[in-house]
Amino acid sequence: MDTERRAVDVGGLTFEVEVGGPDRGPWVILLHGFPVNSSCYAEVVPRLHESGLRTITVDQRGYSPGARPEAVDDYRIDHLVSDVIGVLDALEVHYALLVGHDWGSLVAWHLAARHPHRFTGLVAVSAGHPSAARDALKVGDQREKSSYIKDFVGEGAAEKLLARNGVLLRRAGVTADEITPLTEPGMLDAALNWYRANFTGDIAKTMACAPVEIPTTMVWGDQDSVLGREQAEFSGRYAYSEFRLCVLEGVDHWVPENAAAALASEISLRSAVF
């Protein structure tokens, strides 16, 4: 089934958006993480269309060339949340199922908490509720798993990640095709600004998120090297409606790319109206 690429203007920025699926299908909006743009859902979207769902994927702030402000503060979580609501408004989509992976999942938790009337449910992938992540830092090995963040917020991080044909990213599981867009001038620095704007200073205050009160599925791969089991499991503490934890055995951090069928199945299940 064909998809349509659109340029959507929100607050003076222009976002690259792809829309597709059955004309009367329920809407699903899918938010990508770092450092891969919405192409991460390339194998998920067709499966959702086959299930009768209509999809929206967005190259978010920093990833769309027309939505790449220079100031670090322009990448604070409040702006990332507002962007998504602005895209939905521009497309005249009044409510949708919300899906996010990695950083897109963190944005999705905030969207679900702040705008529950806009979303029929939430599928959070890999990254749990921000409060669950805070709790997880006190137990297990999550603090060690998160140690890479200090390198991402430092000077010259983009140059280091792209050095030697992106060897550090490739070792982390990012493919050569996924690295190519990151070589555009300013793109990787803009993507890293998500970390600089939100994971420095008083992180607990910046990322504070209320519990969510819409039906929620948490999908996590048990081979994830950066986000541990505790932050996935603890997310149930902050989901006050129906909560389901789906653990994918043998799957790493890159769930949309490496477990597309399983993820599409969980999204379809969450979209069902009983």
Task: Report the mean per-residue pLDDT for the chain.
Answer: 95
> In 3D, which of 239, 209, 231 has the Cα closest to residue 138?
231
Q: How far is Cα 92 from Cα 8, in angstroms, rounded to an integer? A: 11
- pLDDT above 90: residue 116: yes
Asked if residue 209 lies in contact with residue 235, where contact means CB atoms within 8 angstroms, the answer is: no
- pLDDT above 50: residue 218: yes
pLDDT value at residue 273: 63
Q: Which residue has the higher pLDDT, 259 or 273?
A: 259
% the chain with pLDDT above 70: 99
The residue ranges of every structural domain in the chain are 3-271
In this prediction, residue 2 has a pLDDT band, given cuts at 50, 70 and 90, of confident
- pLDDT above 70: residue 1: no
- pLDDT above 90: residue 38: yes
Give per-residue pLDDT as tens, 138-148. 988 899 999 89
Which residues sit opposite 123 in a β-bridge?
99, 217
How many other β-carbons are positioned within 10 Å of the β-carbon of residue 237?
Answer: 14
What global pTM score does this model have?
A: 0.96
In this prediction, residue 274 has a pLDDT band, given cuts at 50, 70 and 90, of very low
How many other β-carbons are positioned within 10 Å of the β-carbon of residue 69?
Answer: 15
Place of tokens 């006190």: 138
- Residue type for position 31: L
Give per-residue pLDDT as tens, 234-260. 999 999 999 999 999 999 999 999 999
- pLDDT above 60: residue 113: yes
Average pLDDT estimate for 15-33:
97
pLDDT value at residue 110: 98
- Residue type for position 136: A
> ∠ CA(182), CA(188), CA(193), 5° rounding?
155
CATH topology of domain 3-271: Rossmann fold (3.40.50)
Q: How far is Cα 34 from Cα 227, in angstroms, rounded to an integer? A: 13
